[in-house]
Structure 1
């Protein structure tokens, strides 16, 4: 059986008994701008990447829900490097492989399969960043919210009789941070309008998406 790049990486780390660490919900693994000597690979859990804007606001970049390297940015020879993101744990607990970044790059440079993973990693991250910029610049707040809600389907969506349940609690504050909306109250008003238009509904604290085509139409516009 041919392993995917990330499956190869996980097996590679397991075979070398790389240290794992656990973090609890709403604690931070790394902070934007602080020096870090380790490379981290998410093993289990859900995390959120964000950056701090010049005005002090936190801008959310992405949720990561599957095993993946948290960041391979910066050079590969320095023992310490500034972290490009805040990484906050969003599940009850998350487990990470923790490996000295210089050792990690030595593994990469001596292992063709890991070189292929790194190449694909950078290509994927570049594509994701371009998409986020397009979402913010071309769609406006309404389209940005529609794009964000649509992205939740692939990450957390479960089909049920009422629509697609987003099986993860996303706060209005986090939605504001992902969509560049100024406040939670603005998000609340926009979600209320979508509910009135029968695009979404709520099941407890969970969003239920009832009209996917409406979201797609607003992303396109």
Structure 2
């Protein structure tokens, strides 16, 4: 079954099984690391970020979550109440999250072939993202990390336009830098200028337009990992 069909199947499942929902406004923290919960979180509307706070107090962004996606499954399958592995924050004007009962969800995963395949797809995709990020940070440093981030963002939030691929997402350079381990906004800005000078990207109205995906991949070290 195709990824889109699995996604549609999962969406229908969530609509039937959701117990309740929670809403958040922009920059509102929904849950912090170690928050105890008995629910699986699925984003219905808006954009979320998952992050962790380092020992020096700086926030390191892990990933963005788009509508329809499971927020996190990084815990065991048999415990009714678990701790959140990451901090969850809304980056959109408003966000709505559906909550599913953890134990019921995992029971369904074990008995439903299509739901099981969707969960396997979820793990493969997230493992791919994190390996790509690690490779980017260790191969060509900050430039590679930024190129990899932009490539991932266009996968999830990109729209085709006449001049290239528009990342339809308004995030500050400071926020974007946190996904690359860059906490100095001027450092992130210098890399964006380097990409603009190379005519790889353009920036307009706080949105990034990728003029050439191929040149972006080349400048990022051509990192390509699939499962």
With the shorter chain as reference, the TM-score category is: 0.7 to 0.9
Deviates more, 1:176-185 or 1:163-172: 163-172
1:200 counterpart = 2:201 = yes
Q: Distance in 2 between matches of 1:156 and 1:123?
A: 19
Cα gap change, 1:166/1:104 in structure 2, threshold over 3 Å: closer, same or farther? same
Cα gap change, 1:28/1:182 in structure 2, threshold over 3 Å: closer, same or farther? closer
CA apart distance, 1:111? 2.9
Q: 1:39-188 counterparts in 2 under 5 A?
A: 39-188=40-189
Q: Distance in 2 between matches of 1:108 and 1:123?
A: 16
Q: Distance in 2 between matches of 1:165 and 1:13?
A: 30
TM-score of the superposed pair, with normalisation by structure 1: 0.87
- 1:156-209 per-residue CA deviation (whole Å, 9 max, x = no partner) reads 333334433322112111221111123112112222333333332221222222
CA apart distance, 1:41? 1.0
Cα gap change, 1:78/1:143 in structure 2, threshold over 3 Å: closer, same or farther? same
Cα gap change, 1:210/1:7 in structure 2, threshold over 3 Å: closer, same or farther? closer
SS in 2 for 1:178: coil
Correspondence for 1:190 = 191
CA apart distance, 1:125? 2.2
Cα gap change, 1:173/1:21 in structure 2, threshold over 3 Å: closer, same or farther? same
Q: How many residues are treated as equivalent by the alignment? A: 221
TM-score of the superposed pair, with normalisation by structure 2: 0.85
Cα gap change, 1:123/1:164 in structure 2, threshold over 3 Å: closer, same or farther? closer
Q: Distance in 1 between matches of 2:57 and 2:18?
A: 39
Correspondence for 1:21 = 22
CA apart distance, 1:121? 2.3
Q: Distance in 2 between matches of 1:190 and 1:17?
A: 43
Give unpaired runs (5+ residues) of structure 2: 223-227
State the Cα RMSD in Å. 2.4
Q: Distance in 1 between matches of 2:106 and 2:182?
A: 38
